[in-house]
Amino acid sequence: MVRPPPPTNKPHVCLSTILIMSSMALMDAYLVEQNQGPRKIGICIMVMVGDICFLIILRYVAVWVGAEVRTAKRGYAMILWFLYIFVLEIKVYFIYQNYKADRRSLDSISRKALTLLLSITVPVLYMILVGIDHMEYVRAFKKKEEIRNRLFWVVVDLLDILDIQANLWEPQKKGLPLWAEGLMFFYCYILLLVLPCVSLSEISMQGINIVPHKMMLYPILSLVTINIITLFIRGGNLIFYKDMRVSGILMGKNLIAIILKTCSFVQYRAQLQNVPPTLGIELQKNATPQAPPMLTPPQVVIQDMTTLPEVTTCEHT
């Protein structure tokens, strides 16, 4: 196995590792406490073995993430995010199923605490994976602010997805149909896996030259999958199932996001139509990294050494 280079930013690597393992330990505590009797010991052994295997894999992936500092790459950051969400959501699924099976347990404090834990650890890990590289290769302050604004929307979208998913395990008067619950959970699961990776890949493709039209994939996907579809999900829960836990604030956020993103798309299309063709070609050339010009080797002329020209010295300097 190829030994990874030493991480350049060790504090970020340690912080991400501590955050991941502490959140996993808290999920394990939920799973162990939900089981009583001899089954509790078996669940404890299973989660401990799983955490040890996960820690071994995390040791290599986290170091490679720290080694990507001072570059525009986010490959191992995406692998770490995918691995973390994949394992975390499996544990959340079993916790949610245990809550669903035990109808008598209406401990709203522990369920709210689970929602709070996810709403803190998931966005914070994403910000750590972005902040592990200070993007020193981006010199312009305006470009840095544009990236920060985009990352802010990613964090808000993560909270929106987690709010939809939390409706499944928080106490509710009337439960959703089984197919609707499963569809809602795995829809949020896929969004948590894919969308942050899309955002990280857009940043990694920029490099020094940040081009707006190369960072349009995430806004389009989030507009459709989060702002529009989750608006229908909350509206359906409110109308058909009388779910009073639907967040009206996030529904308003989705409406505002739809308006803002639609206006930005229209404005961007108008700017593209007004750009002259020659300027568009020049911008496209500047957007792509150009290789340094090849230096032609100097031509050496070999003269006849028998007839060297006489060099006269100049008296005046």
Domain ranges of the chain: 10-284
Give the burial string for 237-247 (b: 16+ CB within 10 Å, else e): beeebebeebb
Q: Is the pLDDT of residue 9 over 70?
A: no
pLDDT digits (tens, 9 = 90+) for 194-219: 999 998 888 766 554 555 556 788 98
Average pLDDT of the segment spanning 217-243: 89
- DSSP code, position 317: -
- Distance (Å, rounded) from C-alpha 233 to C-alpha 59? 39
Taking the model in full, what pTM does it have? 0.79
- Note the helical H segments in 132-210: 141-166, 178-206
> Is the four-CA dihedral 205, 211, 216, 218 of positive or negative sign?
positive
pLDDT tier for residue 294 given thresholds of 50, 70 and 90: very low
pLDDT digits (tens, 9 = 90+) for 254-282: 999 999 989 988 887 787 777 665 544 44
79, 85, 188, 226, 300 from 162: Cα distances, Å: 21, 12, 7, 11, 70
pLDDT attached to residue 279: 44
Average pLDDT of the segment spanning 15-37: 91
Mean pLDDT over the full length of the chain: 78
pLDDT attached to residue 200: 85
Average pLDDT of the segment spanning 230-252: 87
pLDDT digits (tens, 9 = 90+) for 114-135: 999 999 999 999 988 887 655 5
